[in-house]
Amino acid sequence: MIMAFPHRLTAILAFAAVSAAPLGAQAAIPATFELTPGARPFAPGEKLTYAVKVGPLGKGTAIAEIIGVDTVRGKRVYHSVFRINGSLLFFKVKDYYESWFDPNTLVSLRYKQDIDQGTYERNRSYEIFPGEHYIDGNKQEFKTVDQPLDDGAFLYFLRTIPLEVGKTYTWNRYFKPDRNPVTVTVVRRERIRVPAGEFDAIVLAPKIKAKGIFAEGANAEVWIADDETRMMLMMKTKLPFGSVQFQLRSREIVKESIANR
């Protein structure tokens, strides 16, 4: 996610786009969602680093990290960060996204974006009150859904659900209701090689009602590890200025004692 589109990227990964694969059967999704601590394939201390390529010349680095446990309005939450640094010739990108979400339901309580893309700069913040409303940086209030997910939380949510090839999963959980539904089609299984190594992967085609990397014409695909980590291994998409690719470079547990919380 480099260039003029990074602010759309996390629009989630999920957040999430459609490939040419057939949609197949619709999968049943429970009305509510809650994890037990042992079922989480991620924890504070996990750091995923990606090599990013944009067309033949653009390059950069993206990092997805759960930096710790925090509290929001008295509730215990995970604090995740997604940051992007890159360039294309003389165009520089330095974006920073933060998400605060419940570690069991993954419900979002706070979301921030700090976008710096050449001459384009934008700061956005959202205080999210599940089942009621969200408040933006201008103190304007908008209705939200019962179990809202922001862009960052959705990435972690995708790592927790069962994925069956040929099924399409549909959610109305994005915190901005007009962007719903979010759909993810499980396209196939395959083995791939990225800088971090060789992995068995599940290939997903996410779609959200928005422009950018997961738009219908983008033919985006996301490779998720077919193991207990369920980490994102690779993503490919097409944008008007060229193709974009993320490949996992490394996975670290920054501090084991924290990561086991």
Q: How far apart are CA 250 and CA 81, in angstroms?
A: 16
Is the pLDDT confidence value at 131 over 90? Answer: yes
What confidence score (pLDDT) does residue 20 get?
A: 26
Other beta carbons within 10 Å of 160:
14
Most confident of 211-215, 216-220, 255-259: 216-220
pTM here is: 0.80
What is the distance between the alpha carbons of residues 221 and 20, in angstroms, rounded to a whole number?
10
Please give the distance of CA 245 from its chain centroid, rounded to a whole number: 15
Average pLDDT of the chain, as a whole number:
80
Q: Do residues 44 and 66 make contact, with C-beta atoms less than 8 angstroms apart?
A: yes
Enumerate residues 6+ apart whose C-beta is below 8 A from 81.
63, 64, 65, 66, 67, 96, 97, 98, 99
Cβ contacts of residue 20 below 8 Å, gap of 6+? Answer: 219
Q: What is the pLDDT of residues 230-240, one digit of tens each?
A: 999 999 877 66
